[in-house]
Structure 1
Amino acid sequence: MSSYPPAAPPRKTTLRQRLADLRGPTVPPRPLDARSLAALAANPGCGRRALLDGAGVDKGALATALGSPAAFGQSQFAIVRGNSFEAKVKGDGGAELLRLAHARLGGAAEPPGPDARVPDLTAAGPEGRAARTAMALREATAAGAWTLLDHPMLALEVAGSPAYLEPDAVVVDPGGRWTVVEIKSFPMIDGAADSAKVGAAARQAAVYVLALERTAQKVAGAEVGHRVVLVCPKDFSNLPTAALVDVRRERSVTRRQLDRLTRVEELAARLPEGLSFDPARTAGELAEAVSAVGAAYAPECLAACELAFHCRERSREAGEVSALGRSVRGELGGLTTVEAALAAAAGTGPAEDAAEDPTAAALRQAARLRAEALERAAGPSPRGEDPCPC
C-alpha cells in the first residue's frame, strides 16, 4: 500500500483568477470609467474590447508593447479651459447651474432659491464617496428641495466588479427627479452644438443614468430623468447655456453592452490556457494573444480605443472592408474583404448569377456604369491612347 497521500483534485480556476491571469500576475486591474463604458456602447460588436475591458487590461500599455501606441486624451490647454468653464458654471453655490436646469427641465417646481442644498460629498475612497452620494440622494429626495450634487460618486456593477463613476453634477428637483448634468467646453452656437461631440456626451451621460437608476431602486419616490442637461459655452463667449439631450437610445445600447460584459467568462473560456496580455511579454506573444480575440474594427475606433492603430493595421493586412467604415461594411453584406468585393465587381466572384447575390449584381452594374462613363469622358480618342494632352 502506497504511503503517499492521494493526489489533490485539480483546482478549479475562478473567473477572477482567470481574468488576473489574462492581465498578468503582477498587473493590477484597470478600473472602468464612464468614457470607456461609453466607448463600449459605441462599438458593441467588438469582443476584443469587451474582454480586455472586462479583465481590466491596460490597453494603453498593451498598445505600446505591441509597437502601436495611440496618443490619446485632451490637450493641456483644453483641460484647463474645461476646468475654468466648469468652475464658472458652478460658482456662487451652483446658482447659475440650478437656474439653467430649472429653465430647461420646466415643470411645476418653483425656481431654486438661495436655500438650495449643496451637500458635502467628501468621504474616504471611492466606496465611501459612493455611499455618501447615495445618502445625499436619499436626503435630497426626502427633503423635496432643489439640490445640487457636485461631482458625486456613483457605483455600477460591471462584469461582477464595481465601477466607480463621477459625473460633473446631478440635480435633484423638488419632485424627486434626479437629472444628470454634463458640462462641456465645446460651444453651442445658435442653440446647436457639434453632433459628434453631443453624441459622445450623450453616450457618456447614459452610463451615469444607468448608475443612478440602480441607486434609485432603493429610494422611495425617486425618479431618474431620461433627459440630461448639457451645459456649454454660448456662441463664442464664455457664458453658459444649456440644452436637454434625450439619452434613452444610448442608455438601451449601453445596458445591452454591459449585459454582454457580464458574460465575459464566455469570452475568456474560448481562449487557450496560458494566454496573457501582460505587457512584460514579447511583442510577438502579445500580438498572438490579441489576435486570438475577435475584433470589430471601424475608423471610429481611432477616437475611442487605445488599440485602434494595431487593429487598423491588422484589418488592412487582411483586406477587411470594415477598415473602410461601417457604412461600406453594411452595404457589402456578405462580401467581407476588399478582394471579394473587387472580384464581384469584375464578375469573377463565386456567385456569378446576379439572382444569387444582389450585392454582387449591384457591384457589377456599378462597374459597368463606371466603365461607360470613363469611355464617354475619353471622347473620340483611339482606344489605348491617353486622351489627356498634358
Structure 2
Amino acid sequence: MSASLDSGRQLPPQTTLRHRLAELRGPASVPRPLDARALAALAANPGCKRRALLDGAGVDKTALAEKLGSPSGFGQSQFAIARGNAFEAKVKADGGRELLRLLGVEEPSAVDLPDLAAAGPQGRAARTALALREATEAGRWALLDHPMLAVEVAGAPVYLEPDVVVVHPDGRWTVVEIKSFPMIDGSADAAKVGAAARQAAVYVLALGRVAAVTEGATVAHSVLLVCPKDFSNLPTASVVDVRKQLSVTRRQLARLTRLEEIADAVPQGVTFDVAECSAEQLTAAVEAVPHAYAPECLAACELAFHCRERARAADVVEALGRSVRGELGGLTTIGEVLAAARGEAGDPEDPAVAALRRAQALRTEALACR
C-alpha cells in the first residue's frame, strides 16, 4: 500500500530537477560545484544551453573534454594555484593583520573574526547571513574569511565562496578579492583585473541578496583587489569599481534559460557519465544539447575546442566571433557570406550583402594593382 502511495506522490519541482540532473551527471559521479569564475563565464555567454546544463548538473567538463578527444588547456596550473594559496595565507595571517593595514585599521583587536563553520553549504550560507547581520547590528569592523553566499542561477541554487567580506562600522559590506598576479607601479594587467572584476561582481550580486533583508546594510559597488606589490610578496591593494560588471552579470544571468527547460529537451537515457560512457556515447550526448560557441570561449570553457570543431564543421559564422555575426545579419553560414560577396547570392539591398560586395570589389582592385 505504501509503495503505491509513494509511486503516486508528486515530487516537488526542485527535487525532480535534482534527480534529473543526477541522471545526466551519472549516479556515481560527484557533482562539481559552480564557482564565481564559472558563473562569470556563463554570464558572458548566456545563450549556451550546453554549458548551462553541464555546469548545473555538476559535470566534470575537463574530464569530459579529454574523453571526447578535445582536451583544453583552460584552467590554472598547479604552480599558480599553490602560489595563490600561499599569498592568500600571507594576507590573512595573524588575524588578517596585512589586510587590516590595507583597510586602514590600526587596531586589530577592534575587528571581529566570526566563526562561519557549519554543516554543508546551506548551513554555511545561513551561518554567514547570521554573522553579517550580527556584525552590522554591532556597528563594528568584522572580517568574514571564506563566507558562503547563495544565488539562484537558471532556477537552481549555487553556493559561492569569496576570499573575504569586510563589514564596516557604518554597515557597509565590501568584497575582498585576493589575487597572486603582481601590481606594478600601482597597476596590474588589464585583462587579469577585468577577469577579477567579473568574478567579484558575482560575489557582490550574491551579497546583495543578504543585504536586502538586513536592516542598515549596504553592499559597496567597488571591491578591494589585493595583489603582490611590484616584484615582492608584500600585499598592496586597489579599489575596483564593478558597477558595470555587476549590471552585465545581473542581466545576463537573468537571460539564462531555466535548467528545467533545458533538461526536459534532452532525450531520456542521455547521460554525461564520463566514467561509464564511451567516447561515442558522450559525443552523442553532448551533441543533444545546443551550444553557442564563440572564440571567447577558448579562454573560459573546457569544452571550447570540441565546440569550435563542431562550429567549423557546420560552417556557421559564429565561429568568427560575435561581432562578426552581428554585422552579417541574416547570413548564417560562411558559404552564404562568400557567395554574397561574389555576387552569387543575397539581396543587393541588404546592407550586409552590399558591404560584402564592396569589400570584394576593393580586394579585387587591390590585387590587380600588385
TM-score scaled by structure 2?
Answer: 0.89
Work out the CA distance in 2 between the residues paired with 1:220 and 1:11.
38
Question: Which residue type is aligned with residue 367 of structure 1?
Answer: Q
**Displacement of 1:315:** 0.9
* CA separation of 1:154 and 1:190: change in aligned 2, threshold 3 A: same
Q: Secondary structure at the match of 2:174?
A: strand
Paired residues of 2:144 and 2:165 also in contact (CA < 8 A): yes
Q: Secondary structure at the match of 2:369?
A: helix
Residue among 255, 264, 271 paired with 1:269: 264
Residue among 126, 129, 132 paired with 1:137: 132
Q: Which residues in structure 2 correspond to 1:307-386 (within 5 Å)?
A: 307-351=303-347, 353=348, 355=349, 357-377=350-370
1:79 maps to what in 2?
Answer: 81
Higher helix share: 2
Q: Does 1:214 align with 2:209?
A: yes
Q: Secondary structure at the match of 1:98?
A: helix
Work out the CA distance in 1 between the residues paired with 2:238 and 2:73.
31
Q: Secondary structure at the match of 1:90?
A: helix
2:61 maps to what in 1?
Answer: 59
2:111 maps to what in 1?
Answer: 116
Q: Which residues in structure 2 correspond to 1:234-245 (within 5 Å)?
A: 234-245=229-240
2:180 maps to what in 1?
Answer: 185
Paired residues of 2:156 and 2:259 also in contact (CA < 8 A): no
**Higher Cα Rg, which structure:** 1
Q: Which residues in structure 2 correspond to 1:161-176 (within 5 Å)?
A: 161-176=156-171
Q: Secondary structure at the match of 1:344?
A: helix
Paired residues of 1:32 and 1:56 also in contact (CA < 8 A): yes
Work out the CA distance in 1 between the residues paired with 2:257 and 2:293.
22
Residue among 180, 194, 199 paired with 2:194: 199
**Displacement of 1:47:** 1.4
Q: Please list the CA deviations of residues 198-228 of structure 1 after superposition, one character each: whole Å capped at 9, or x if unmatched.
A: 1211121111112211222232111111111
Question: Which residue type is aligned with residue 289 of structure 1?
Answer: A
TM-score scaled by structure 1?
Answer: 0.84
Q: Please list the CA deviations of residues 341-388 of structure 1 after superposition, one character each: whole Å capped at 9, or x if unmatched.
A: 11111111232x2x2x111111111111111112212xxxxxxxxxxx
Work out the CA distance in 1 between the residues paired with 2:178 and 2:46.
26
Paired residues of 1:121 and 1:132 also in contact (CA < 8 A): yes
* CA separation of 1:283 and 1:175: change in aligned 2, threshold 3 A: same
* CA separation of 1:319 and 1:122: change in aligned 2, threshold 3 A: same
Identical counterparts, % of pairs:
71
Work out the CA distance in 1 between the residues paired with 2:118 and 2:267.
43
**Displacement of 1:309:** 1.1
Paired residues of 1:180 and 1:205 also in contact (CA < 8 A): yes
**Displacement of 1:148:** 1.4
Quote the RMSD (CA, aligned, Å): 2.5
**Displacement of 1:125:** 3.5
Paired residues of 2:46 and 2:253 also in contact (CA < 8 A): no
Q: Secondary structure at the match of 1:121?
A: coil
Question: Which residue type is aligned with residue 200 of structure 1?
Answer: A
Question: Which residue type is aligned with residue 283 of structure 2?
Answer: A
Question: Which residue type is aligned with residue 217 of structure 1?
Answer: A
* CA separation of 1:81 and 1:251: change in aligned 2, threshold 3 A: same
Q: Please list the CA deviations of residues 316-349 of structure 1 after superposition, one character each: whole Å capped at 9, or x if unmatched.
A: 1112222222222222232222211111111112
* CA separation of 1:75 and 1:272: change in aligned 2, threshold 3 A: closer
Residue among 29, 32, 49 paired with 2:31: 29
Paired residues of 1:40 and 1:254 also in contact (CA < 8 A): no
